[in-house]
Amino acid sequence: MNSPKHIKRSPQAKLVLGIESSCDECAAAVVTDDYQILASSVHSQEEVHSDYGGVVPELASRDHVRNVSEVTSDALAEAGAKPRDLSGVAVTAGPGLMGSLLVGLSFGKAFAYRFGLPMVGVHHLAGHLAAAELARPDLKRPYLGLVVSGGHTALYEVTEKKPPFLLGETRDDAVGEAFDKVAVLLGLPFPGGPSLARLADEGDEQAISFPRPLSNKPGLDFSYSGLKTSVALEVKSYGREMTRKEKADVAASFQAAATDVLVARSISALKKTKLRQLAVVGGVAANQRLRRSLGEAGNRLGFEVFAPPVSLCTDNAVMIAAAGAASLIAGEDDGLSLSAFSRVPLGLAPWRQDE
Ligand code: KG4
Ligand code: ZN
């Protein structure tokens, strides 16, 4: 299908519309091709999933359908931009929940077709890494990327030319998933990660010595299911409703174990690769205990830590627009046959036919 020919681009069109719908945030943003943020609109689905303690895929897709158009018009209005001012659209093509991805992708296609714009698919994790590069222009490749979210826990060597190289990843649960599951064990409201982090502020992180899985073993992989089981056994051992202080101690001790492992593995990866800059991205990068511990380790060992502001750690469309901008400037257009991929390694773009 060819794009309509009758729409004239503004000669100064250098703006990118980003759309993100891979999980439970429906977001749109407008970013300039030199990474200035003009607008960001995020609709979170907290109320939709709160009764279930986790994201319900079908409910997520339906909510994206209800909101994708509005977040896009909100972002364009906030940016003071018309569709003809855009140089292209960047949409998350994977990984994520298939139904949710398809909503953003289908909307992006319809929008791009209607306004005769090129559209590129963006890998969600490339988006998270782009958030660090956008927020911290002094972050220069090559650097170590620690990606910590609800679905991923991985270390990448991010270089200028080649796709990011995977150094290690979780063998089971993602760290964000562990935060969310422990929050459910403690009866905390959804979304679990931020609720748990708030309660942990009231607790003593040395109260319980939870395991730091794999942190003393060679290699750069992670494992979180054993830690989660230890917390479950600890909670069960009370045999009664825990007091708020007891819960806070469990939360703080779990948070310390979960984040200490990320710090230890990052230090090992920096030593192995001889890199001096670490970018920590993804929803769990919003965690203050993690940011603090990485910062302290950086000061002690002489490496720099770059973390985006919290609003760019959790899912948003600024990061997707930023990650897609370079491809659009390079003249790429994935076209209307672009597909969604629920699982796809970072560095692969199976939606780009010539790769
Ligand atoms: O990147 P993200 O928004 O979505 C995915 O790509 O998964 O990450 C969401 C994850 C959830 O597991 C959430 O509980 C966790 O990030 N999270 C946090 C915090 N804020 C969000 N975990 C720990 N502390 C936080 N402050
Ligand atoms: Zn994410």
Q: Which domains does the chain have, with CATH numbers?
A: 15-128+315-337 (3.30.420.40), 139-307 (3.30.420.40)
Neighbours of ion ligand 2 (CB under 5 A): 149, 315
**Index of the ligand 1 atom closest to the CA of residue 315:** 3
Low-confidence ranges of the chain (pLDDT < 50): 1-5, 355
pTM attached to this predicted model: 0.95
Whether the CB-CB separation of 186 and 235 falls below 8 Å is answered with: yes
Ligand 2 centroid from CA 283, angstroms: 6
Which secondary-structure segment (H or E) carries 17?
strand 15-20
* Residue whose CB lies within 8 A of the most ligand 1 atoms, among 25, 179, 320, for a mutation test: 179
Per-residue confidence (pLDDT) for residue 4, from 0 to 100:
45
**Cα dihedral sign for 163, 27, 59, 195?**
positive
* Residue whose CB lies within 8 A of the most ligand 1 atoms, among 201, 224, 284, for a mutation test: 284
Nearest Cα neighbor of 340 from 140, 100, 18, 114 is 100
Per-residue confidence (pLDDT) for residue 215, from 0 to 100:
79
**Nearest-CA residue for atom 13 of ligand 1:** 193
Which residue stretches of the chain are H helix?
Answer: 46-49, 57-79, 98-114, 124-135, 175-185, 192-200, 225-237, 244-273, 288-301, 310-313, 318-329
Range 238-242, long-range pairs (CB < 8 A, 24+ positions): 242/186
- The DSSP string of 47-82 is HHHGGGTS--HHHHHHHHHHHHHHHHHHHHHHHT--
**Nearest-CA residue for atom 23 of ligand 1:** 193
Per-residue confidence (pLDDT) for residue 328, from 0 to 100:
95
Per-residue confidence (pLDDT) for residue 355, from 0 to 100:
47
Nearest Cα neighbor of 125 from 161, 166, 87, 160 is 166
Ligand 1 centroid from CA 87, angstroms: 31
Q: Residue 198: which residues within 8 A CB-CB, separation 6 or more?
A: none
Per-residue confidence (pLDDT) for residue 336, from 0 to 100:
94
Ligand 1 centroid from CA 177, angstroms: 8
Q: Residue 82: which residues within 8 A CB-CB, separation 6 or more?
A: 76
Per-residue confidence (pLDDT) for residue 90, from 0 to 100:
98
Q: How far is CA 125 from the centre of its chain?
A: 6
Per-residue confidence (pLDDT) for residue 208, from 0 to 100:
98
Nearest Cα neighbor of 183 from 251, 234, 235 is 251
Exposed/middle/buried for residue 244 (C-beta within 10 Å: 0-12, 13-18, 19+): exposed
Q: Each residue of 250-270: b (16+ CB within 10 Å) or e? A: bbbbbbbbbbbbbbbbbbbbb
- Residues touching ligand 1 (Cβ under 6 Å) are 23, 149-151, 176-177, 179-180, 191-194, 197, 282-284, 286-287, 314-315
Return the bridge partners of 280, or none. Answer: 146
Per-residue confidence (pLDDT) for residue 217, from 0 to 100:
87
